[in-house]
Amino acid sequence: MSSSFAPKPAERTAQHSASIWVEFTTLAAETKAVNLGQGFPDSPAPKFVTDLLENLSKHPELTAAHQYTRGYGHPMLVDILAKMYSHFYNVQVDPMNEVLVTVGAYLSLYYAFLGWVNKGDEVLIIEPAYDCYYPQVKFAGGVPVPVVMNLAEGATSASQFTIDFADMESKINEKTKMLVINNPHNPTGKLFSRHELEKLAEIAKKHNLIVIADEVYEFHVWDKNDMVRFASLPGMYERTISIGSAGKAFSVTGWKLGWAVGPKQLLEPLKAIHQNCVFTCSTPTQMAIAEAFRLDWPKFLSDPENSYLATGLSGELRAKRDKLAKMLEEGNFRPIIPDAGYFMLADYVHLKEGINLPTEEDPDDFVFSRWLCREKKLAVIPPSAFYSARDNKLKNSNMVRLCYFKKDETLDAAEEILKKLGKQ
């Protein structure tokens, strides 16, 4: 049906194309591939967490659990978050003024960019970088400025991704307003050391930058004491918006609850957007997550062996990490062993030598990932998608990214594919 009605969308949306997830999620579904691409667990959620939500659902008479709650976060949830982050940051976090609960960490990020970035402001982003940072900064009118990490040739550990701090400082000018730090890092699995974070803190202080600390994988470290939260560094709380995720903490990504923690002056612009956008988040899920934290927090502090957040989650992840690394080696990949999180990069150069891949304009890892999904029924993600400039995409197109937070049946199915691939 033809029509003369052809409105033009807002200019801010005109240059934004579909994300990488659209193509590769669709391809995985069409080919019925074993999916190690998307970053979410496919095993049952922790029962002690889902039981809390179930219990609320069985009591319709609890009106407060089923109607709107406080817009900036349920009092139960902001209270326990403030208690936890007061401990982590060694400052007194005010639950009513210094915590904002949002629909997933995504919105905390977006609010931070919209609330603080003016047209033309520049934002430093460490690459490879999760792909939502760039469009969100651009939607706010800002200019993303990439700082590309180096990786040693033949690297086998995510810790070998390093920042060239001189390069970072060379990109700072009077327009630079913000620095984004993702730690633990997606897609590399790198956990930044205290020394590296202190260098970033020096730069932030020297150039008077606001810091967005995207720390959604903060409980995915092998030893809880290895996680250095950026706002805990001297003088950094006052200039940092720290972002966390209930979905990542308790392996319930579909609950879509996140939060921003920071000084009142930094959160005020985020709250102004939130109250005129989402207004409030789901009440029962906030209550269930609050109670889950309240149950686990004392164990985290004094009985870590029985704490989901201290050892339960990380123990499960570490075992799966080790299993996937061994599987990849059998498949003739070179795994880059992660320090934290649930993603692993793997170099496929040796495998590529015996494969006749089609010639395409896209970087090689896109071509290889499509081939692997269509021909071998294994879905992965090409990490060159996490670089902005084409030359950096091409330089970093020899790896794939895989998620190992999957049930045993999924990993076993992937293992069979990789074993056959390694014998080709």
306-331 tens-digit pLDDT: 999 999 999 999 999 999 999 999 99
Per the CB < 8 A criterion, the answer to whether 317 and 342 are in contact is yes
- With a CB cutoff of 8 Å and minimum separation 6, the contacts of 167 are 147, 148
The closest of 108, 99, 92 to 73, measured between CA atoms, is 99
Say how far apart CA 274 and CA 201 lie, in whole Å: 28
What number is the average pLDDT over the span 129-145? 95
Encoded tokens for 70: 């406080």
User: What is the DSSP-derived secondary structure letter of residue 340?
Assistant: B
Side-chain half-sphere CA neighbours of 244 within 13 A: 23
- CA end-to-end distance (rounded Å), the chain: 51
Q: Domain locations in the chain?
A: 11-45+310-422, 48-305
Say how far apart CA 65 and CA 288 lie, in whole Å: 10
CA distances from residue 395 to 98, 312, 334 in whole angstroms, order as listed:
41, 38, 17
The closest of 10, 263, 12 to 117, measured between CA atoms, is 12
Say how far apart CA 197 and CA 64 lie, in whole Å: 42
| pLDDT tens readout for residues 156-201 | 999 999 999 999 999 999 999 999 999 999 999 999 999 999 999 9
Kindly report the average pLDDT of the chain as a whole number: 95
CATH architecture of 48-305: 3-Layer(aba) Sandwich (3.40)
What number is the average pLDDT over the span 6-19? 82
Secondary structure (3-state) at 200: helix
Give the pLDDT of residue 39: 84
Say how far apart CA 373 and CA 25 lie, in whole Å: 10
Say how far apart CA 239 and CA 118 lie, in whole Å: 17
Under the banding of pLDDT at 50, 70 and 90, the label for residue 303 is very high
Please determine, looking at this structure, whether the domain spanning 11-45+310-422 carries the CATH number 3.90.1300.10: no
Secondary structure (3-state) at 64: helix
| pLDDT tens readout for residues 358-413 | 777 889 999 999 999 999 999 999 999 999 999 999 999 999 999 999 999 999 99
Under the banding of pLDDT at 50, 70 and 90, the label for residue 1 is low
Per the CB < 8 A criterion, the answer to whether 365 and 384 are in contact is yes
The bridge status of strand 122-127 relative to strand 176-182 is: parallel
Say how far apart CA 234 and CA 253 lie, in whole Å: 32
Per the CB < 8 A criterion, the answer to whether 280 and 69 are in contact is yes
Comparing 8-12, 229-233, 247-251, the range with the smallest average pLDDT is 8-12
Give the pLDDT of residue 355: 75
